[in-house]
Amino acid sequence: MSYEFDWSAVWDPSAWMTAIGVTVAYGVATTVAGLLLGLILGLLLVSRIWIARRAVSLFIGVFRCTPALIQIVWFYYAFPMALNINMPAWLAAGCGLTLYMAAFSAEIFRGGIQSIEKGQWNACRSLCMSHWQTMYHVILPQTFRRMTPAIVNQSIIQFKNTSLLSVVAVHDIMFTASALTSETYRPLEVFTFAALLYIILIWPMASIAHQVERRFDYRSSR
């Protein structure tokens, strides 16, 4: 007995186009917002304000050690309830994922900042540069270059994690695939197609990032 493929089951261009738009929007927005927040948290982690370090460590502990799926569901249902505010559903859905990204990228930035040789700080202090001038002109530019692979990696994970948003009825690629499956009973074709879409979206981003990384690698520029 062999399976008869029926690729007509996936034929729904308008639904897929919308889904791609939603996935890309959430992927880009939660990644960028998560990275920015992560950078701020990472800077607090290496700051001299101990209470900030403690608070951020606690935040990272909580968000790294709970599944992204629970965070999404919790922010969607419980967070607006807990604060007794009316949050638009699209925002509530993205919040959990953004904070998840922030927690992981904060650790990446902290590690990156601390990996920069101590001599760089000494040289800057000797030249009378302030803490923030040193951070901005000398430490962070090197951190970004050094941590690019880790940041790209985490961003790819984040992009794929947007599929979890389908559980709170965000009409992304994953949601559309599930819906189409229950319509057509053709999971093999539909999910294969969905997987292909993710690959087509993410692969080019990863290779562009790799090229940017190589261009900025001043260490091998001899």
Partner 1 sequence: MSVNFIEVRSLRKTYGTTVAVDDVSLTLEEGRTAAIIGSSGCGKSTFLRCLNLLETPTEGSMRIGGDTVTFANDKMASGEDQALRFRKSMAMVFQSFDLFPHMTALRNVSLAPTIVNGLKREEAEGLALKLLERVDLRHKADAYPGQLSGGQAQRVAIARALAMNPRVLLFDEATSALDPELVGEVLAVIKDLAKEGRTLLVVTHELAFARDVADTLYFFDQGRVLESGKPQELMSNPQTERLRAFLKRFQGPLNS
Q: Binding residues for partner 1, per CB under 8 A?
A: 117, 119-120, 122-123, 125-129, 133, 137-138, 141-142, 145, 218-222
Taking the C-alpha atoms of residue 9 and residue 186, their distance in angstroms, rounded to an integer, is 7
Taking the C-alpha atoms of residue 189 and residue 185, their distance in angstroms, rounded to an integer, is 10
Shortest separation between residue 166's beta carbon and partner 1, angstroms: 41
Of residues 86 and 126, the one with the C-beta less far from partner 1: 126
Of residues 13 and 219, the one with the C-beta less far from partner 1: 219
Of residues 41 and 124, the one with the C-beta less far from partner 1: 124
Shortest separation between residue 109's beta carbon and partner 1, angstroms: 16
Shortest separation between residue 136's beta carbon and partner 1, angstroms: 9
Of residues 88 and 119, the one with the C-beta less far from partner 1: 119
Query: Which of 24, 41, 46 lies closest to 102, judged by CA?
Result: 41
Shortest separation between residue 211's beta carbon and partner 1, angstroms: 18
Query: Over the range 122-138, which residues count as b (16 or more CB within 10 Å of their CB) and which as e?
Result: eebeeeebeeeebbeeb
Shortest separation between residue 143's beta carbon and partner 1, angstroms: 10
Q: Which amino acid is at 127?
A: L
Of residues 92 and 147, the one with the C-beta less far from partner 1: 147
